[in-house]
């Protein structure tokens, strides 16, 4: 069985990846001792820059292994693309300077506050995920996925994480927080990027 290491301690992300890989016979695992590794500095101005930087950095702590790292977030049209690369730190007073992530509930509260006067038909946006692969600090490939939707006035659903309870996906009339891991893998931005990564792993990954 092919094993791929994911550079994250986020159990929600690991669950999403495992759901997408389940039918492909690929084992998903975190990097051993990940909690003890100093955090990569995510100071890129794009999802691509941050994902590539994280993949190269964390792959040095797992010699010989292919490591996938992602940078993902929510882009809201009415907010000029915010929170964007600052999605995980949006509740901070200065998200672009914050080092630690802020709580999901706080991030969601700020988003709802900033959209309070925006009509629902103008609350369009998308989740974006860029996934990068690296081995021994060397970049290998990048993959991008997105999912178009709307931002609701109040959360719905008890699954998922981050902005999932507010992100309504019109194609199936549900928020991402109302989806099972398998459903989310099928429809989400992360699932789309990961499917491209799976295809690459089978067909193009060096040494495989």
The per-residue pLDDT for 1 is 66
Residue 21: pLDDT above 80?
Answer: no
Residue 134 dihedral angles phi and psi, to the nearest 5°: -150, 160
Catalytic residue among 16, 36, 70, 71, which? 71
Its pTM surpasses 0.85 = yes
Laid out side by side, the sheet with 174-175 consists of 26-30, 2-6, 67-76, 124-135, 138-151, 167-169, 174-175
Q: Enter the DSSP assignment of 95.
A: T
Mean pLDDT for 18-46 is 84
Residue 152 dihedral angles phi and psi, to the nearest 5°: -80, 170
Residue 16: pLDDT above 80?
Answer: no
When the pLDDT of each residue in the chain is averaged and rounded to a whole number, the result is 90
The per-residue pLDDT for 184 is 87
Long-range CB contacts (within 8 A, 24+) of 42-46: 42/71, 42/85, 44/71, 44/85, 45/85, 46/85, 46/130
CATH for 2-203 is: 3.90.950.10
> Model confidence over 47-89: pLDDT tens digits?
999 999 999 999 999 999 999 999 999 999 999 999 999 999 9
Domain chopping of the chain, boundaries? 2-203
Q: Do 202 and 141 touch, CB atoms closer than 8 A? A: no
> Model confidence over 109-131: pLDDT tens digits?
999 999 999 999 999 999 999 99
Strands (E), 88-137: 124-135
Residue 208: pLDDT above 60?
Answer: no
136 is annotated as an active-site residue: no
């Amino acid at each position: 069985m092919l094993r791929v290491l994911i550079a994250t301690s986020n159990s929600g992300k690991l669950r999403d990846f495992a759901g997408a890989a389940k039918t492909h016979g690929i084992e998903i695992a975190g990097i051993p001792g990940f909690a003890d590794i100093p955090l990569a500095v995510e100071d890129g101005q794009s999802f691509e820059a941050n994902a590539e930087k994280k993949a190269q950095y964390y792959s040095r702590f797992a010699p010989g292994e292919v490591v996938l790292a992602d940078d993902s977030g929510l882009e809201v049209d009415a907010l000029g693309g915010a929170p964007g690369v600052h999605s995980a730190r949006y509740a901070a007073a200065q998200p672009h300077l914050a080092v630690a992530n802020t709580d999901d509930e706080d991030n969601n509260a700020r988003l709802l506050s900033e959209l309070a006067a925006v009509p629902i038909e103008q609350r369009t946006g998308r989740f974006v995920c860029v996934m990068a692969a690296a081995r021994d600090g060397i970049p290998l490939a990048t993959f991008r996925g997105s999912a178009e939707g709307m931002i609701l006035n109040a959360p719905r659903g008890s699954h998922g994480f981050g902005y999932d309870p507010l992100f309504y996906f019109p194609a199936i009339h549900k928020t991402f927080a109302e989806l099972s891991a398998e459903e989310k893998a099928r429809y989400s931005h992360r699932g789309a990027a990961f499917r491209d990564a799976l295809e690459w792993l089978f067909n193009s990954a060096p040494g495989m």
